Amino acid sequence: MAKFVTEVKGVNNESIKLASDIIKGGGLVAFKTETVYGLGANAYDEAALAEIYQVKGRPSDNPLIVHLSRAAEVDRVARDISDTARLILNALMPGPITVVLNRKDDLPARVSGGRDSIAVRVPLDMGARIFISACGVPIAAPSANTSTRPSPTSAKHVVSDLNGKIPLILDGGECEVGLESTVVDVRGDEVILLRRGGVAVSEIESVIGRAVITDCVSKEVVSPGTKYRHYAPSVPLVVVGRGDRSAVERIVATNSAKAIPTVIMGTDNDLKDCQGLAADYYSLGADSAAAARRLFGAMRILEVKYGFIVAIRLSDEGLGASVNSRLDKAAAIM
Ligand code: TXA
Ligand code: MG
């Protein structure tokens, strides 16, 4: 049975007041950020944190990101912040990046799944920052999807996953980046990439003046038995290399023999190489930024209409590598 009548409200003074009252009372509010919608709670409130895990169906050892309205507040939740971490904080926050630091003891361990670290992010989205600031506490927020579903990039995606489970969604429109933040561990001497996302690795490298360690994240991508399923549409998705028309042809032929409705998804240019096959086509736009913006929404649209998605890998430039990592994860669970 539904626990709430979920309200969807535009971002204005009145809805921000309502949202901050809900947070202060121990409740959850979904809100737009520039990356994806988040499901927010008071980071100091153990019961509200437990509710996040319950509502999402998320394993309790998968840690949450704490959101702040200003980078200057990082010292409120983290300690022993290195010079390299400061460089990243100053240059890239607010923005679609999350840094893993040492957690201050007054924050509940539950927020980071029992770890002594804490992931911190300052969203670029003005509405998000006004909301967080109105709450007066750091806001713990995972993406506002049901665990294993693609992350929500519009309020209607949140409704589709969480209707009746939370009291309020602050509808700020469509997310501009469309992929979750890049996560880096900045506790040690090296900057270690934990998740690709809205900030390209090359951007971080130009800020710190040296290479980011990417071994951990690429290992995760090659091993399909990752601990948590992610980003997955409800129908099979296969990733093919750019320009590999013959691979696409083979898959389409096999599927049409079995009468499985198939769609080929890729950027405009890559789709041109695959024209004339017995399948439908879905464009992710002209470049990697457009593809990042559209990817999760596309998965939610296409899984309803088709029985099979063939995704053409993007070039690794710009946000291409981040988009590809999501495609690999969506494919890995088959
Ligand atoms: O863009 C985003 O990051 C969005 C918006 C809402 O801010 N949030 C988001 O949260 O994607 P979530 O919970 O879906 O993903 C958080 C990621 C997970 O991969 C989690 O394992 C990692 O960050 N993470 C969080 N805290 C961590 C920690 N202390 N150490 C290592 N990884 C951590
Ligand atoms: Mg998530």
Ligand 1 atom 12 nearest Cα:
142
What is the reported pLDDT for 20? 98
* Cβ atoms of 15 and 128 closer than 8 Å: no
φ/ψ (deg, to 5) at 2:
-65, 135
Q: Is 202 helix (H, G, I), strand (E, B) or coil?
A: helix
pLDDT category, 218, cuts 50, 70, 90? Answer: low
Pocket test for ligand 1, best of 39, 52, 56, 65 (most atoms within 8 A of CB): 65
Measure the CA dihedral 36/42/44/49, to 10°. Answer: -70
Instruction: Report which of residues 289 and 225 the model is more confident about.
Output: 289
CA distance 85 to 188: 9
* Cβ atoms of 291 and 284 closer than 8 Å: yes
Q: Quick one: which of 231, 218, 323 has its CA closest to 270? A: 323
Ligand 1: list residues with CB < 6 Å: 33, 35-36, 38, 62-65, 98, 100, 112, 115, 117-119, 121, 141-143, 180-181, 183, 194-195
173 Cα–ligand 1 center, Å:
22
143 Cα–ligand 2 center, Å:
4
Cα angle for residues 144, 148, 150 (degrees, 5° grid): 60
pLDDT tens digits, one per residue of 29-88: 999 999 999 999 999 999 999 999 999 999 888 999 999 999 999 999 999 999 999 999
What is the reported pLDDT for 221? 44
Mean pLDDT of the chain: 94
What is the reported pLDDT for 333? 52
Q: Inform me whether the pLDDT recorded for 128 exceeds 70.
A: yes
What is the reported pLDDT for 334? 41
Q: What pTM was computed for the model?
A: 0.96
Q: Ligand 1, residue 103: give the atom nearest the CA.
A: 29
Q: Ligand 1, residue 67: give the atom nearest the CA.
A: 7
Q: Quick one: which of 327, 53, 35 has its CA closest to 152? A: 35
- In sequence order, the 6+-apart residues with CB closer than 8 A to the CB of 67 are 33, 38, 40, 120, 121, 122, 123, 128, 132, 138, 139, 140, 141
74-91 residues labelled b (16+ CB within 10 A) or e (exposed): beebbeebeebbebbbee
Dihedral (CA of 251, 326, 167, 17) sign:
negative
- Matching residue, tokens 């509710």: 51
Of 19-28, 111-120, 209-218, 290-299, the range with the lowest mean pLDDT is: 209-218
In angstroms, what CA-CA distances link 95 with 34, 49, 120, 207, 296?
8, 24, 11, 14, 20
142 Cα–ligand 1 center, Å:
6
Written as six digits, the tokens of 61 are 């050892």
Q: Inform me whether the pLDDT recorded for 208 exceeds 70.
A: yes
CA distance 69 to 77: 13
Q: Inform me whether the pLDDT recorded for 192 exceeds 80.
A: yes
Q: Ligand 1, residue 62: give the atom nearest the CA.
A: 21
243 Cα–ligand 1 center, Å:
33
Q: Ligand 1, residue 180: give the atom nearest the CA.
A: 1
233 Cα–ligand 2 center, Å:
14
Ligand 1 atom 10 nearest Cα:
142
Segment 282-293 shows an average pLDDT of 98
pLDDT category, 231, cuts 50, 70, 90? Answer: confident
Instruction: Report which of residues 192 and 2 the model is more confident about.
Output: 192
186 Cα–ligand 1 center, Å:
14
Ligand nearest to the CA of 181: 1
Q: How many helices (H) and strands (E) does the chain have?
A: 11, 15
Percent of residues, the chain, with pLDDT higher than 90: 91
44 Cα–ligand 2 center, Å:
20
